[in-house]
């Protein structure tokens, strides 16, 4: 497709630029500005060079949060991507059940994130929650408020509950675009179920899987509201992820300089990892 | 035959998965229909003395129900704003090459990757400085950060599916650009606009960090009203549950109406 | 390989078909010999794809049986029927190389690898892709992909039949001709039973030993290309086959004479009087300009290379003549002469035999 060159198209893009400049560029400049300055209060700032960046990179607390964040995203991707594919393969293809299943599956995606947190906060409570109560009755010592393992498990199950449907819906769309002839050909060639998945379904889902992996990585890496509501980052710092730590620093303690430096590093880490995912997965696709 | 076995297997998998999705929601609904005494006093799988009192409290108290109104106002504003700016831009990206187009497109998408936590404080300062703090438009603008890139991306996909000959024919027939765009082009990508609107609505509706940071009283979203009540009274589980159920309803309604387009929208390979 | 028999076969997509039009495939019985090349010809919606899907096992017929040799395969799933199919759009396994694509059906059947390698090499030579064997299938052109599909169909030596479902739809016109020639050659060389579904009469007539013409769910005629052309059993076949199709005129037939709009036309043989709508049909190449005979009004002449088509009207109905290039056309004429031996008589659209042959 050869599109004509037309620099006047910039006029069409202008409104987007103005809006995004207002909601992204100016705030980002503020962040950059803070990140290189220090203050003794009274709105007097002075140049601090890369001092804050150095502090952030050397901070054990932030390193620990980054470690937790990476572990969390890795676990989320490892669970939700295969599970989402598996669910998509089992979804009804057409008819009333297909639309009903679609609607029910999309439901968690449209619940405000703090309500998601509230649902699981309540659900997991030993005194009034079905999950906590049932586990207690089964003799399992479960308490997400005191036990770091239980807190992690709760947040991971919550995220799986919240987002697996997105992966499944994307994969489902990819599957729907496969013409029947492919399945028919596979039957004629006596391909096994695994063969159908490996050589027909998986290749056709590659595009949507790339989107799913990127979205799930980005959003799990930025997670804030849900764990904040359920555990508040605790017990101790066990579920203090990067965003929770950042908000604590920026709004709780008003440490503007370090928070700004932290923000920029955070953003860059996401960009970097997303870029790596994108490059690796598209390279894989071009190779195969 | 093996096909019936396989479809029975699928039915089992889907039933288990849907149970997993719905039981926590059911639990919230269950709680919302109980009195606080019943919630904390007895443990039952369904309300023994069903009451709508929790809902009555919310629907008669302006400090509660205005939260819904506020949320709906900024969500609708954001959806309209995002689509209004994204439509021409998506057209430009799908039809023309221009200086820096690829970089611009990529840069737009990177905004989708910006953690809201990063922007919370600067937004607060920026909007305070220009006098927009605690207004609906402030939240609507802030949510453009992630919704505009998304809308441009979705719409560009749909627009690229419309053959360029249609544009050329219209120009030859003497249509001006605005008239062509609104009369001919937009109806052609109506389902794309619907899908983009759905996602803008969804992401604006579920976001809390920014909307809470940028509001205090007048534009406070329902989700934030809820968190405040939890920390303040801490024990009013019934009202909390009822408020939660009411936040699920708009989303459920929206999905039901667009259910036939979601799969189609997904199928076009964009989010 | 086996002979294929359809025994009182019919299919309806409705659970309880009542009216005639409820049947996608009306009851039919046919036998196809082992190693033949058959074409299913008809416009879209005529039931040819339904019949193909019944043969491949994708559809279970509402009634009747399908036999491969002596074996009833009506209830067998696709995989057990041992057939191959080439689809309208190329179906290849994108992530595999051409070699892996060709080997896939054999590998799934657990053949030893040296046999697989030998077969793949042989098939690659047949379809002319020896040089590209190790390329990924993704990124090849549509006709290369279609050749791979074709190769996957040919790679198993023991298939009962190879089905082609309009396989040349996405191929460039020039490549079409080449692929069709190749198919024909492959058929001659290996003798697989081939079933070719198409709406293009040229493809059907040049490919098949026997063409089955279908219309509205009914098999209207099965025969060699020549017999379809010379003696169409139904006006639909006369109209559908040939370019332009057969000329059809309403007539009254008495003995060996047909009366068309008041003009008497001699027939090659006497016919019994019949009730219903009677028509006579004649191929455009069996008509010549004349000074006496049927009144004809010329509308326009088309030169299509090796012959010319004269389009006009007889008694208000369209009527065409085909004249070879070297034959002169009178400057003006208003009558046409029909070759009596090549006139067919149709009653309610079905061809009837003349008296002495019917007896």
Threshold 0.95, pTM exceeds: no
Q: Report yes or no: C187 and C150 within 8 Å, Cβ to Cβ.
A: no
How high is the pLDDT of residue C283? 92
Owning domain of residue C279? 247-358
Chain B positions in Cβ-Cβ contact with residue A242 (cut-off 8 Å): 115, 117
Please state the φ and ψ torsions of residue C244, each to the nearest 5 degrees.
Answer: -70, 165
Average pLDDT, chain B: 82
pLDDT category at B270 given cuts 50, 70, 90 is: very low
Pick from A260, A263, A220: nearest CA to A241: A220
Query: Does residue C268 sit in the same domain as residue C176?
Result: no
Token pair belonging to B237: 């589980």
Owning domain of residue A143? 59-287
Q: What angle do CA B122, B125, B126 make, to 5 degrees?
A: 80
Query: Does residue C236 sit in the same domain as residue C332?
Result: no
Query: Does residue C340 sit in the same domain as residue C289?
Result: yes
Contact between A118 and B14 using a beta-carbon 8 Å cutoff: no
How high is the pLDDT of residue B1? 39
Query: Does residue C154 sit in the same domain as residue C41?
Result: yes
Instruction: Domain count for chain C, please give it.
Output: 2
Please state the φ and ψ torsions of residue C298, each to the nearest 5 degrees.
Answer: -80, 130
Q: Is C356 exposed, middle or buried (0-12, 13-18, 19+ CB in 10 A)?
A: exposed
Please state the φ and ψ torsions of residue A221, each to the nearest 5 degrees.
Answer: -75, -20
Would you mind telling me the total number of residues written for chain C in this entry? Answer: 359
Chain position carrying tokens 């793949």: C120
Rg, Å, chain B Cα set: 23
Chain A positions in Cβ-Cβ contact with residue B206 (cut-off 8 Å): 109-113
How high is the pLDDT of residue B17? 93
Chain A positions in Cβ-Cβ contact with residue B115 (cut-off 8 Å): 221-222, 224, 242-243, 246, 263, 266-267, 270
Pick from B118, B121, B205: CB nearest A251: B121
Q: What angle do CA B10, A200, C196 make, to 5 degrees?
A: 110
Ordered alpha helix ranges (H), C155-253: 173-190, 201-207, 225-230, 235-240
Q: Report yes or no: A15 and A23 within 8 Å, Cβ to Cβ.
A: no
Pick from B185, B162, B170, B183: nearest CA to B94: B162
Q: What is the largest CA-CA distance in chain B?
A: 75
The answer to whether residue A283 sits within a structural domain is: yes
Chain A positions in Cβ-Cβ contact with residue C96 (cut-off 8 Å): 199
Q: What is the three-class DSSP state of C240?
A: helix
How high is the pLDDT of residue A85? 94
How high is the pLDDT of residue A286? 63
Pick from C227, C263, C250, C219: nearest CA to C346: C250
Does the pLDDT value for residue C171 go beyond 70?
Answer: yes
Q: Within 13 Å of residue C139, how many CA atoms lie on the same side as its CB? A: 11
Q: Cα separation of C103 and A250, whole Å?
A: 62
Chain A positions in Cβ-Cβ contact with residue B266 (cut-off 8 Å): 169-170, 172-173, 208
Q: Using a CB–CB cutoff of 8 Å, tell me whether A7 touches chain B.
A: yes
CATH code: domain of residue C87: 3.40.50.300
- For chain A, residues with pLDDT lower than 70 are 1-2, 39-46, 48-49, 284-288
- In sequence order, what DSSP letters do the residues of chain B get, joined into one string? -HHHHHHHHHHHHHHHHHHHHHHHHHHHHHHHTS-HHHHHH---SS-SS---HHHHHHHH-HHHHHHHHHHHHHHHHHHHHHHHHHHHHHHHHHH-B-TTHHHHHHHHHHHHTS-HHHHHHHHHHHHHHTT-TTSHHHHHHHHHHHHHHHHHHHHHHHHHTS-HHHHHHHHHTT--HHHIIIIIIHHHTHHHHHHHHHHHHHHHHH--HHHHHT-SSTT--HHHHHHHHHHHT---HHHHHHHHHHHHHHHHHHHHHHHHHHHHHHHTT--
How high is the pLDDT of residue B231? 47
Pick from A181, A190, A203: CB nearest C91: A181
Q: Cα separation of B105 and B156, whole Å?
A: 10
Residue of B nearest to A99 (CA): B259
Q: Between A270 and C20, whose confidence is greater? A: A270
Query: Does residue C254 sit in the same domain as residue C146?
Result: no
Pick from A184, A190, A192: CB nearest C105: A190
* Average pLDDT of the segment spanning B238-245: 86
pLDDT tens string B128-182:
888 888 889 888 988 998 899 888 888 888 888 788 888 888 888 888 888 888 8
The answer to whether residue A281 sits within a structural domain is: yes
Q: Between A163 and C171, whose confidence is greater? A: A163
How high is the pLDDT of residue B9? 85
Task: Determine the distance in angstroms separating the CA of A206 from the nearest CA of chain B, rounded to an integer.
Answer: 10
Stated as kind and residue range, the H or E segment containing A98 is helix A96-106
Token pair belonging to A210: 């790339």
Among C240, C273, C297, which residue terminates a domain?
Answer: C240
Contact between A128 and B84 using a beta-carbon 8 Å cutoff: no
Query: Does residue C83 sit in the same domain as residue C215?
Result: yes
Contact between C138 and A190 using a beta-carbon 8 Å cutoff: no
Pick from B39, B40, B108: CB nearest A20: B108
Does the pLDDT value for residue C241 go beyond 80?
Answer: yes
Testing the interface with B: which of A6, A27, A79, A204 to mutate, by most B Cβ within 10 A? A27
Does the pLDDT value for residue C290 go beyond 90?
Answer: no
Contact between C95 and A288 using a beta-carbon 8 Å cutoff: yes
Query: Does residue C129 sit in the same domain as residue C107?
Result: yes
- So what's the ipTM on this one? 0.84
Task: Determine the distance in angstroms separating the CA of B158 from the nearest CA of chain A, rounded to an integer.
Answer: 15
Pick from A31, A87, A128: CB nearest B122: A31
Which residues have CB under 8 Å from A141's CB, separation 6+?
A147
How high is the pLDDT of residue A39? 66
**Domains (range + CATH), chain B:** 59-267 (1.10.3720.10)
pLDDT category at C359 given cuts 50, 70, 90 is: very low
Query: Does residue C181 sit in the same domain as residue C278?
Result: no
Q: Cα separation of C24 and C46, whole Å?
A: 8
Q: Between A94 and B241, whose confidence is greater? A: B241
Q: Cα separation of A150 and B24, whole Å?
A: 17
Contact between A169 and B39 using a beta-carbon 8 Å cutoff: no
pLDDT category at B20 given cuts 50, 70, 90 is: very high
* Average pLDDT of the segment spanning C230-236: 90
Partnered with residue C355 across adjacent β-strands are none
Q: Cα separation of A173 and A84, whole Å?
A: 12
Does the pLDDT value for residue B31 go beyond 80?
Answer: yes
How high is the pLDDT of residue B115? 81
Q: Using a CB–CB cutoff of 8 Å, tell me whether A272 touches chain B.
A: no
Q: Cα separation of C102 and C116, whole Å?
A: 9
Which residues 206-245 in chain A show a CB within 8 A of chain B? 207-208, 211, 215, 218, 221-222, 224-225, 229, 242-244
CATH code: domain of residue A274: 1.10.3720.10
- Residues of chain C above pLDDT 90, percent: 10
Which residues 100-119 in chain B show a CB within 8 A of chain A? 101, 104, 108, 110-119
Q: Between B215 and A45, whose confidence is greater? A: B215
pLDDT tens string A157-205:
999 999 999 899 888 888 887 888 898 888 888 888 898 999 999 888 8
The answer to whether residue A1 sits within a structural domain is: no
Pick from B160, B218, B166: nearest CA to B192: B160
Highest average pLDDT, of A63-77, B38-52, C68-82, comes from: A63-77
């Amino acid at each position: 497709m050869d599109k004509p060159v037309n620099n006047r198209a910039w006029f069409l893009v202008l409104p987007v630029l103005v809006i995004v400049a207002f909601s992204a560029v100016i705030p980002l400049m503020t962040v950059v500005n803070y990140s290189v300055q220090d203050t003794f209060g009274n709105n007097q700032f002075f140049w601090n060079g890369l001092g804050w960046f150095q502090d952030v990179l050397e901070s054990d607390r932030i390193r620990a949060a980054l470690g937790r964040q990476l572990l969390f995203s890795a676990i989320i991707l490892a669970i939700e991507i295969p599970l989402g594919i598996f669910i998509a393969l089992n979804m009804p293809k057409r008819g009333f059940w297909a639309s009903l299943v679609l609607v029910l599956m999309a439901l968690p995606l449209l619940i405000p994130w703090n309500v998601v947190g509230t649902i699981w906060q309540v659900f997991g409570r030993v005194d009034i929650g079905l999950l906590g109560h049932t586990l207690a009755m089964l003799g399992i010592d479960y308490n997400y408020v005191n036990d770091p393992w239980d807190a992690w498990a709760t947040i991971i199950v919550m995220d799986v509950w919240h987002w697996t449907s997105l992966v499944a819906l994307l994969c489902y769309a990819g599957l729907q675009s496969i013409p029947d002839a492919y399945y028919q050909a596979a039957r004629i060639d006596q391909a096994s179920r695994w063969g159908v998945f490996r050589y027909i379904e998986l290749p056709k889902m590659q595009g949507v899987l790339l989107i799913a992996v990127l979205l799930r990585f980005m959003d799990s890496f930025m997670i804030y509201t849900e764990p904040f509501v359920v555990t508040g980052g605790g017990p101790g710092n066990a579920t203090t992820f990067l965003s929770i730590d950042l908000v604590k620093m920026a709004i709780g303690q008003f440490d503007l300089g370090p928070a700004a430096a932290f923000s920029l590093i955070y953003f860059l880490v996401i960009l970097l990892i997303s870029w790596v995912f994108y490059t690796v997965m598209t390279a894989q696709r071009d190779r195969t | 035959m093996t096909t019936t076995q396989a479809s029975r297997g699928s039915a089992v998998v889907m039933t288990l998965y849907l149970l997993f999705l719905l039981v926590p929601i059911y639990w919230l609904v269950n709680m919302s229909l109980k009195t606080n005494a019943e919630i904390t006093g007895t443990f039952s799988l369904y309300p023994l003395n069903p009451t709508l009192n929790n809902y009555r409290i919310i629907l008669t108290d302006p400090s509660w129900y205005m939260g819904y109104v506020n949320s709906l106002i900024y969500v609708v504003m954001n959806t309209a704003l995002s689509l209004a700016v994204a439509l021409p831009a998506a057209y430009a990206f799908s039809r023309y090459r221009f200086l820096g187009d690829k970089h611009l497109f990529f840069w737009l998408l990177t905004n989708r990757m910006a953690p809201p936590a990063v922007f919370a404080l600067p937004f607060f300062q920026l909007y305070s400085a220009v006098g927009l703090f605690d207004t609906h438009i402030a939240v609507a603008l802030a949510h453009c950060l992630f919704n505009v890139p998304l809308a441009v991306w979705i719409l560009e996909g749909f627009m690229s599916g419309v053959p360029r000959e249609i544009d050329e024919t219209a120009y030859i027939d003497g249509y001006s650009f605005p008239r062509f765009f609104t009369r001919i082009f937009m109806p052609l990508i109506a389902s794309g606009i619907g899908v983009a609107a759905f996602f803008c609505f969804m992401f604006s509706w579920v976001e809390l960090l920014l909307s809470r940071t940028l509001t205090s009283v007048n534009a406070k979203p329902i989700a934030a009203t809820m968190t405040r009540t939890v920390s303040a009274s801490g024990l009013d589980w019934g009202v909390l549950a009822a408020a939660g159920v009411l936040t699920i309803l708009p989303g459920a309604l929206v999905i039901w109406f667009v259910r036939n387009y979601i799969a189609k929208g997904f199928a076009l390979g964009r989010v | 390989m086996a002979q294929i028999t359809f025994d009182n076969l019919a299919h309806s997509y409705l659970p309880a078909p009542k009216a005639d039009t409820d049947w996608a495939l009306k009851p039919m019985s046919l036998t196809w010999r082992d190693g033949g090349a058959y074409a299913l010809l008809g416009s879209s919606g005529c039931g040819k794809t339904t019949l193909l899907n019944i043969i491949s096992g994708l559809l279970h017929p509402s009634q009747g049986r399908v036999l491969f040799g002596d074996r009833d395969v009506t209830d067998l799933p696709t995989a057990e029927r041992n057939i191959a199919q080439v689809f309208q759009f190329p179906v290849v396994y994108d992530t595999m190389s051409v070699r892996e694509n060709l080997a896939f059906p054999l590998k799934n059947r657990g053949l030893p690898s040296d046999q697989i390698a030998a077969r793949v090499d042989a098939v690659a030579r047949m379809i002319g892709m020896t040089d590209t064997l190790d390329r990924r299938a993704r990124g090849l052109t549509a006709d290369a992909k279609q050749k791979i599909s074709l190769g996957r169909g040919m790679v198993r030596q023991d298939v009962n039949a190879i089905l082609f479902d309009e396989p040349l739809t996405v191929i460039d016109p020039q490549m079409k001709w080449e692929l069709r020639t190749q198919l024909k050659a492959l058929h001659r060389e290996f003798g697989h039973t081939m079933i070719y579904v198409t709406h293009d009469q040229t493809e059907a007539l040049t490919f098949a030993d026997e063409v089955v013409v279908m219309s509205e769910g009914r098999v209207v005629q099965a025969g060699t290309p020549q017999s379809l052309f010379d003696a169409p059993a139904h006006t639909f076949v006369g109209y559908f086959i040939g370019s332009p199709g057969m000329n059809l005129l309403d007539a009254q037939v008495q003995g060996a004479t047909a009366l068309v709009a008041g003009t008497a036309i001699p027939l090659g043989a006497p016919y019994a009087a019949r009730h219903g709508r009677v028509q006579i049909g004649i191929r455009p190449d069996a008509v010549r300009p004349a000074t006496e005979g049927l009144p004809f009004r010329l509308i326009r002449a088309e030169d299509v290379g090796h012959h010319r088509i004269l389009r006009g009207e007889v008694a208000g109905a369209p009527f065409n003549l085909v004249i070879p290039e070297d034959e002169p056309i009178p400057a003006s004429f208003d009558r046409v002469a029909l070759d009596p031996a090549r006139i067919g008589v149709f009653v309610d659209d079905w061809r009837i035999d003349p008296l002495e042959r019917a007896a």
